Every structure is written in structure tokens, then in C-alpha cells.
Amino acid sequence: MYLGVIFATLCALIALSFAILSIRWVMLQPQGDERMRQIAGAIQEGASAYLHRQYLTIAGVALLPMLGLWHWLGAESGVGFLVGALLSGAVGYVGVLVCVRANLRTAEAARRGTNAALQVAFRGGMVSGLLVVGLALLGVAGYYLVLAPPDPDDFAAQTGALGALIGLAFGSSLISIFARLGGGIFTKGADIGADLVDQIGSGLNEGDSRNLALIADNVGDNIGDCAGMAADLFETYAVTLVATMLLGSLLLQEHAADAIAYPLVLGGLAVLATVVGTFFVKLEPGDTRVLAALSKALTVSGVLAFVLFVPATWLFLPATFIPPGSEEALSRWGVLAAAGIGLVLTGLILVSTEYYTGTDYGPVRGIAKASLNGTATNLIAGLGVSMKSTGAPALMICGAIWGAYQMAGLYGIAIAAISMLSLTGLLVALSAYGPIIDNAGGIAEMAGMDAQVQGVTDSLDAVGNTTKAVTKAYAIGSAGLAALVLFADFTHSMAAGGNVLSFELESPAVLIGLFIGALLPYLFSAMTIEAVARVAAVAVDEVRRQAQEVPGIMAHPPKLDGGRTVNLLTKNAIKEMIIPSLLPVAVPMAVGFGIQWLMGGNAGALALGGLLIGTIITGLYVAISMTAGGAAWDNAKRYIEDGNFGGPGSDAHQAAVIGDAVGDAGKDAAGPAVNPMIKLINLVALLMVPLL
């Protein structure tokens, strides 16, 4: 019957148990002295206040789409939306709570050496990773078990159940875009604000604990790279599972029940592989190759997952099958090869991102060198790198599309996406590792810990920059593939509804859709970047005001009252996240119904199809260029700080600081938010199918 789905549910529960064990382990680590706890307490307080307010606002805004789904598409969709939304929220919430407790424990562990600190930081991040895959799998598989018809071969009932899962995907997507945007705007508003306070001559500077934006900056790191990334990949994971289940049911109609279970089973196996992989993150005393240790875990998990995929494929898929409308038979071997392609793609994207954003290679060093001639050349060099860095990932994705399609048609692309997402747990852990170690460094500095401790956190933090960049590239690449699967769902659902459309490039409706779709990432990013700028200005004004008003703040020792600044930033960031988030919901509806009304015939659906692809295409380029470019600028600054091209304090360093600030808004706010955006648009289109 539904054994595969039950198996996946069990795997999800295993992942969640490991998450709970990891939380326990982290909480039992020593917390350091009074001063450290005081600083960490301020960060915890700020983070809780932010999350509280953010999810309260989201709950209010999300009520309307939930009721809409309930009304138009039935109670199952409405409840699905609620499940997706709540789980996505829980992932971000719990993950951050753990991160802001792992940070000072990491700082304390750094006294005992690099491996000790690495263990605490990585396990802290692993909580988020396990929560993402565990809850996504539990939500999708569990809710499907609730809805699944008693007779697995009842095709109409299966379609209904999958429809309700689209509601779940939509819920997770909408929460994710809010979390990404709100978190991104907050964190970069605070970060740029903190940088600016120094430059505009208030007498305070970034690393100075008197700088009241600093606590906000530390809070922001957590809600951006921990909560934001977790919500982002939760959404990609859940959406891809649902999209592949749906596509499988449409393409393998005679084996629909097994095809629906198959991606869930792959997900369950990948979770087991992930848990095994975590044990390989370890450093021998004296070894400082952190990146190598992390890469080993990824490789072990990936290979193990692939090995486990073989029997699963033989159990759940027929030896050959012919998708409707096609003449060529596809085979189990082909599907397995597509899964392999997804894993290879992951590896290649990680390598290419490391090249474009690592301090060991030409691009970052080129930006650092250009800083010698001033700020303008630093920025021009950075813009060049940011645009160039799109080339390799784009060609790799093209190669993966080609390979997966040759191996197993459209279904191959879906399976490649699923297998790429096998590594989600570890990659979320790598991303959440970033703010933990970054915070640990900040706490060590503010609490005046030994230079040796700061050396340990610094060396781990340098890797954090790269892992954050790598995770973002992975998130975007997988989002692109997931969105293509959603597009295939869209066209096949239209066809299954008797509306076989030809989305031809010559059609003016398709062309108009493509142009408008391609515009969306630009508009969306512009709105996000401008929101960051506004919030940063608020931060600067507040710090200036406090520096003038609070008597003696400049003369006295650190006085950690970041609470006000955090509150102010929270209020502004959450206000700013609403409008851009609604863009991907409103525009597909406007284009679909609007073009239909203007041009008649099937024009609305055709334009919508064009819109989806247009958004995926430019979304990919806009997101990659912003995230990779931003990381390259950041690391160019770091490279100079390591003593190259004049070192810290030189003119080149000053130029690099500005380049870093310019890249920040795109790297951590606008760019990553494009991922949920392109999927949200596709999901909205999918939900519109019955209405078109």
C-alpha cells in the first residue's frame, strides 16, 4: 500500500530525533563567563523579538491567501497551506533559537582548539539542517498519508490529494519569501548601517562595541543565514517533492501510486545518508583544513545516498515506461542516471562558486588588486566578476538539463532536482554554521577573550564566508531546477485538463509573458535593495541620535543597549518586506487574467507559461550574479585584511570596505530572496490552472 510513504515518514522522524539530540548536546556545552553570557543574551533577546514580530506579521498577512485557497480550492488546500506555513515558520524559529545559543558555546569551545569550536558550531548548524529535511519530509509525506485515497489506483482521488499538497507548497513558499526578505532587509540594513556609522565620522567604528548597531548586526546574521536559508531550502525541498510527486503521477499514470511514493522514499534515504555524513565533520589536532572536513561529509553523504537510491529505484519504478504523448520508453537505468547527474551538478556548482568567491583564486584577488586604484575600480572589477560568475553555473545547469532529459525525459529533470536536494540537510548546516562562528568571533572580541581564541574563531569564520556563498549558489541552482519541474507540472496539468497548449516562442502572448517574467527579478531586486538602503539609513540616524543624546556614551566603556536599535530595525524591515513579497503573487494573476481579457483564446495561459520561464531565466542570472559578486567583494576585503595590497587601514582597504557594503544588499537580501520568488510565481500559476 503506502509502505514507501510510511518509510519516508519514519526517516523524517529519525532526522527530527537527531535534531533533538543535537540541540541537547549543544545546550550542554559550557557557556563561558558572565560577560560572554551578557553579550549573547542581548543577541538572543534581539533575535527572539525579531522572530516574534516577523511571524506575527506573516500570520496576519498569510490569513488572506489561506482563506482564498480554502474557499476556491477546498478545505484540504487551505489546511495544506497552513501545514506548510507553520512548518516553514517552525524551522526558522527553532533554528535561530539554537544558533543564538550555539554562538557563545562556540566561543567558549574555541579555548579548547579548532576542532572543539568546529564541533559546536557545526552541530548547532546541523540542527537547522535536520529540521529542514525532517519537517519538510514529515509535512509532505504525513499530509499525503492523511489525504491519500484507500485505493492507491484511484487516479482522480490521487490528483485531488496532490492538489492539496500544492497548497502546502504554496504555504511554505509564501512564508519563505517573507522570511528571506524580512531577514535579509533587517540583516543588511543593520550591517550596512554599522559600516556607515564609521565612515561618516560619528567617532564610533564598526568593531567597537559602543556602536549600537553591532548587536543588531549579530542578530541579523542569524535571521539571515540561519532562519532565511532554512526557510528558503525548506521551501525548495517541499516544493520539489510535491512537484515531482505530481509530475510522476502525470507521466507514469499506470504506476501513479508508486511514482508518488518514489521521491519521498529518495528523500527518506537521503536523510539517512545525511545523518551518517555528519559524523565525518572532524579535525585531527593540528589540522586546520576545515573546508576539507566539511567537503568530506558532503561527499560521503552524496555517494551513500546514490547507493541507496539503486534498490529504491528497482523497487518503485517499472523497468520501462512510456509517458503520455511520447513515443520513447524511459527506463529505471535512465532515471538513476538522472539522479547521478543531480549529484554531480551539486558538486560542480560548489566548485565553481568556490573559484569565483574564494580568496585563493583570480577573481577575488583581481578585485582586491583593483582596490589599489581606488573605490571605482574595485566596484567595476566586482561588477565584472559578478556578471562573469553566472557563466559556469548556467552552463552546468544547461548540461544537467540536457543530460537528465536524454536519460529520462522531463521526469529525469525532476529526479535530478530531487537528488540534488539530497544534500540539503548538510548544506543548511553549512550555511547556519556561518552566523554561529561569526557571532562567536564577535562575542570573543567584545568580551575581550584571548588573542588565541580569536585566532581560532577567525580561521573558522574565513571558511564560513565561503560556505555561505556556496550554500547560496546551491540554493539558487536547485531553485532553478525545481522551478522547471513546476513549469512542467503547469503545462502537464493544463494538458491533463484537456487544454493542450503549445508555448511557442513566436506567439506574442508567450513573448510578452517572457518579457514581463524576465522583468520581475529586476523589479523585485530593485525594491529589495532600496528597502535595505532605507533601513540602513534608519539605523545610521538612530545610532547618531543615541551617540548625541545618551550622555557619556562615547567616553564610557561598552554599554550594550542594542535593544532599541533592534526594535527600530525590526519594525522597519518587516514593514518593507510586505510589498515585494506580494509581487510574485499578484503579477501572475494580473498577467494570466489580464492578457486573457486583452487577447482572448488561450492567450492568458500562454502568457503565463512565458512568464514562468522568463522569471526562471533572469532570476537565475540576477540571483547568481548578486550572491557570487557580493561574496567576492566580501572576500576581496578579507584578502586585503590578511595583509595583501597594503593591508588593513590602507586606501585599498577602504575601497574594499565600500565594495563589500555595496555587494551586501544583493548578496544577503535581494539575491537569495529571488529563489522563493521564482517558485512562488510558478506555484501561483499552478494554482490558477483550474481557473484558466
Of 442-501, binders to its own copies (CB under 8 A) are 484, 487-488, 491
Shortest Cβ distance from residue 1 to its own copies (Å)? 34
Task: Note whether 380 binds its own copies by CB under 8 A.
Answer: yes
Q: Which residue has the cell 589540522?
A: 287
Nearest to residue 44, comparing CAs of 124, 104, 91, 92? 104
Q: Give me 24's grid cell.
A: 541537547
Q: Residue 394 interacts with its own copies (CB under 8 A)?
A: yes
Least distance CB 216 / its own copies (angstroms): 17
Please report, for residues 369, 380, 381, the alpha-carbon distance to residue 377 in angstroms, rounded to integers and kept in the order given.
Answer: 9, 5, 6
Tell which one of 39, 266, 385, 426 touches its own copies (CB under 8 A). 385
Contact between 503 and its own copies per CB under 8 A: yes
For the CB of residue 441, give the shortest distance to its own copies in the complex, in Å.
Answer: 23
C-alpha cell at 461: 569564520
Give the total of residues touching its own copies (CB under 8 A).
78
The only residue of 381, 486, 587, 640 in contact with its own copies, by rule CB under 8 A: 381
* 390 in contact with its own copies (CB under 8 A): yes
321: phi then psi, degrees, rounded to nearest 5: -155, 155
In the complex with its own copies, which residue's Cβ is closer, 290 or 616? 616
In this chain, which of 76, 108, 195, 542 binds its own copies, going by CB under 8 A? 195
Q: What are phi and psi of 331, to 5 degrees?
A: -125, 165
Q: Is 214 helix (H, G, I), strand (E, B) or coil?
A: helix
Instruction: Pick the binder of its own copies from 39, 227, 290, 529 (CB under 8 A).
Output: 529
Q: What one-letter code names the amino acid at 494?
A: M
From the CB of 519, what's the least distance to its own copies, in Å? Answer: 5
Euclidean distance between CA atoms 636 and 581, whole angstroms: 32
> Which segment (83-91, 101-109, 349-357, 534-542) binds its own copies by CB under 8 A?
534-542
β strands within 305-415, DSSP E? 320-321, 330-331
Ramachandran assignment for 210, one of left (phi > 0), alpha (psi -120 to 50 degrees), beta (any other) = alpha
391 binds its own copies (CB under 8 A): yes
Question: Among residue numbers 540 through 569, which ones bind its own copies (CB under 8 A)?
Answer: 540
Residue 567 CA to its chain's centroid (Å): 25
Site string for its own copies, 158-177 (x = CB under 8 A): --------------------
Under rule CB under 8 A, residue 437 binds its own copies: no
Comparison of 141 and 628: residue with beta carbon closer to its own copies: 628
- H helices present in 222-289, as ranges: 229-251, 256-278
Give me the least distance between CB of 401 and its own copies, in Å please. Answer: 6
Which of 294, 427, 469, 613 binds its own copies (CB under 8 A)? It is 613
Instruction: Spell out, one character per residue from 346 to 375, where the chain touches its own copies: x when CB under 8 A holds, - when not.
Output: ------------------------x--xxx
Is residue 582 part of the contact set for its own copies (CB under 8 A)?
no
Query: Which is closer to its own copies, CB of 298 or CB of 485?
Result: 485
- 634-663 residues near its own copies, rule: CB under 8 A: 651, 658, 661-662
The set of cell numbers assigned to 393 is 553555473
Candidate residues 75, 351, 523, 579; the one interacting with its own copies per rule CB under 8 A = 523
The SS3 of residue 321 is strand
Closest of 221, 194, 100, 216 to residue 563, by C-alpha? 216
How big is the CA angle at 136 (ends 131 and 140), to the nearest 5 degrees?
150
By CB under 8 A, is residue 328 in contact with its own copies?
A: no
User: Nearest approach, Cβ of 440 to its own copies (angstroms)?
Assistant: 27
d(CA 127, CA 105): 15
Q: Does 621 bind its own copies (CB under 8 A)?
A: yes
**379 near its own copies, judged by CB under 8 A:** yes
* CA-to-CA separations, 540 to 91, 323, 442, in angstroms, rounded: 31, 59, 20
The answer to whether residue 154 forms part of the interface with its own copies (CB under 8 A) is no
Q: How far apart are CA 528 and CA 531, in angstroms?
A: 5
Question: Whose grid coordinates read 582586491?
Answer: 368
**Candidates 127-135, 290-298, 309-317, 514-522; binding stretch for its own copies (CB under 8 A):** 514-522
Cell numbers placing 144: 499525503
Q: From the CB of 587, what's the least distance to its own copies, in Å? A: 11
Give CA–CA dist 32/40, Å, rounded: 10
